[in-house]
Amino acid sequence: MFSWLYGVITRARNSLYEKNVFKSYSLGVLTVSIGNITVGGTGKTPLVALVAEILAKKGEKVCILTRGYGRENPKKRVLVSDGEKILTDVGQAGDEPFELAQKLAGKAIVIADANRVSAGNWARERFGITCFVLDDAFQHRKVRRDLDVVCIDATNPFGNEKTLPSGILREPLENLKRADAIVITRANLTKDVSSLKSQISKYNRTCQIFVAENKISDLVKLEEFSAKAQSAQSSEKQEMTKDKKLETKVFAFCALGNPNNFFEQLRQEKFELVSTQKFLDHHSYTQKDIEKLVAQADQSGAKALLTTAKDAVKLRDLKFEVPCFVVESAMVFDGENDFRGWLIIQD
């Protein structure tokens, strides 16, 4: 009953936008939306970073606009990064905006603001922005976009195909027709994506469908990861030591929308994973949490802890009695040049 009602409301809302009763506002320059049609993690953040990098390399002045879930004051506009330096902390920015700012230092400005129309206009006037990347904006139709890219998690594309609250869909599947491109993420964690491609084509026959994997791109000590964040805040340059291979028993923890995919990725990439711990998405860690994790790791025989970059930005001031390493991930396409080429052509 509630899912049916939710579906009726979202259909009505989308219809009002399509009839121009509800207004969409242009930001005046190329605007690319990266989003999803489901709740939970779909591997969207690595794609936001990749799109920003591609456009920056092409010579665009890129700004990422994000709502910034879980930050201390969600109504406040926060300039997370001016493109060179990180100007705030993770509490004010939110974990994902802070992670993006750290990863894209020198490549993109990052702003957290629920009002992306106002934030976009402000950023264009202040920084001379030539391109916006909207983070998690498929349902945020108040901003007009030139390209709508939707991420679909290959391991659990649509759940039971019901909308909230009975399912995981943010809106009915028929609304995939709005997408200009669909990126199937985490394809390496499932056996076959051909049936998923066929299912997508039932709702959108014209969009480009790309297949991608989320692969580990780096493995660094937490202290060095945190030092990189600090150097980005102070504009100092600092090289990071890379530990590409960790040959010991490990205990993994995270606070993601889809934590099991992180654990499975570690297993696929041959980490000796002896135990795991998951927290609610956007969880803010305390020293007591860390003490419990260290105790669990000790009980399981693990010699090191592993976590994600999204989690690591919230661990900087906490103390660990065992080594903790940060797993950084990147999106790798099956035919990556095809996606890059498609994006540049659209520009």
pLDDT in tens, 94-126: 999 999 999 999 999 999 999 999 999 999 999
Average pLDDT over residues 201-226: 94
Tell me, what's the pLDDT at 233?
62
Residue 234 has pLDDT above 70, yes or no: no
Residue 214 corresponds to which amino acid?
Answer: N
pLDDT of residue 40: 86
Judge if 188 and 203 occupy the same domain: yes
Write down the pLDDT at residue 238.
41
Judge whether residue 292 has pLDDT over 50: yes
Section 322-339 average pLDDT: 89
Does the pLDDT of residue 301 top 70, yes or no?
yes
Going by pLDDT thresholds of 50, 70 and 90, the confidence category of residue 246 is confident
> Is there a single domain that holds both residue 170 and residue 223?
no
2 domain-assigned = no
Q: What whole-number distance in Å separates Cα of residue 271 and Cα of residue 273? A: 6
222 shares its domain with 240: yes
Quick: pLDDT tens for 247-285: 899 999 999 999 999 999 999 999 999 999 999 999 999
pLDDT, mean of residues 305-321: 96
**What pLDDT, on the 0 to 100 scale, is given for residue 232?**
62
pLDDT given for residue 191 in this prediction: 86
Domain span including residue 259: 218-329
Percentage of the chain lying above the pLDDT 70 cut: 94
pLDDT band at 239 (very low <50, low <70, confident <90, very high): very low
Please check whether residues 53 and 190 belong to one and the same domain. Answer: yes
Are 63 and 150 within one domain? yes
For residues 35 and 142, membership in a common domain is answered with: yes
Annotate the chain with three-state secondary structure: CHHHHHHHHHHHHHHHHHCCCCCCECCCCEEEEEEECECCCCCHHHHHHHHHHHHHHCCCCEEEEECCCCCCCCCCCEEEECCCCECCCHHHHCHHHHHHHHHCCCCEEEEECCCHHHHHHHHHHHHCCCEEEEECCCCCCCECCCEEEEEEECCCCCCCCCECCCCCECCCHHHHHHCCEEEEECHHHCCCCHHHHHHHHHHCCCCEEEEEEEEEEEEEEHHHHHHHHHHHHHCCCCCCCCCCCCCCEEEEEECCCCHHHHHHHHHHCCCEEEEEEECCCCCCCCHHHHHHHHHHHHHHCCCEEEEEHHHHCCCCCCCCCCCEEEEEEEEEECCHHHHHHHHHHHC
pLDDT of residue 244: 54
> What is the reported pLDDT for 241?
43
- Say whether both 196 and 253 belong to one domain: no
* 222 and 175 in a common domain: no
* Residue 132 is assigned to a structural domain of this protein: yes
**Average pLDDT of the segment spanning 32-43:** 94
What local confidence, expressed as pLDDT, does residue 147 receive?
97
What's the pLDDT at 336? 65
In a domain, 198, yes or no: yes
Mean pLDDT of 24-35: 98
Please give the C-alpha separations between residue 330 and each of 62, 170, 320, in angstroms, as whole numbers: 19, 25, 26
14: in domain: no
Q: Give the predicted TM-score (pTM) of the model.
A: 0.93
152 occurs within a structural domain = yes
Are 149 and 241 contained in the same domain?
Answer: no
Q: Judge whether 17 lies within some domain.
A: no
How confident is the prediction for the chain on average, in pLDDT? 93
174 and 44 co-located in one domain = yes
- One domain for residues 164 and 301: no
Distance set, CA 125 to CA 5, 122, 143, 264 (Å): 41, 5, 17, 44
Please report the pLDDT score of residue 9 as a whole number.
92
222 in the same domain as 210: no
Q: How many domains does the chain have?
A: 2
pLDDT of 227 reads 86
Of the CA atoms within 13 Å of residue 33, those in its CB half-sphere come to 24
Could you tell me if residue 98 is inside a domain? yes
pLDDT given at position 335:
76
Residue-level pLDDT at 240: 41
Residue 164 lies in a domain: yes
Q: For residue 227, what is the domain's CATH number?
A: 3.40.50
pLDDT of residue 230: 64
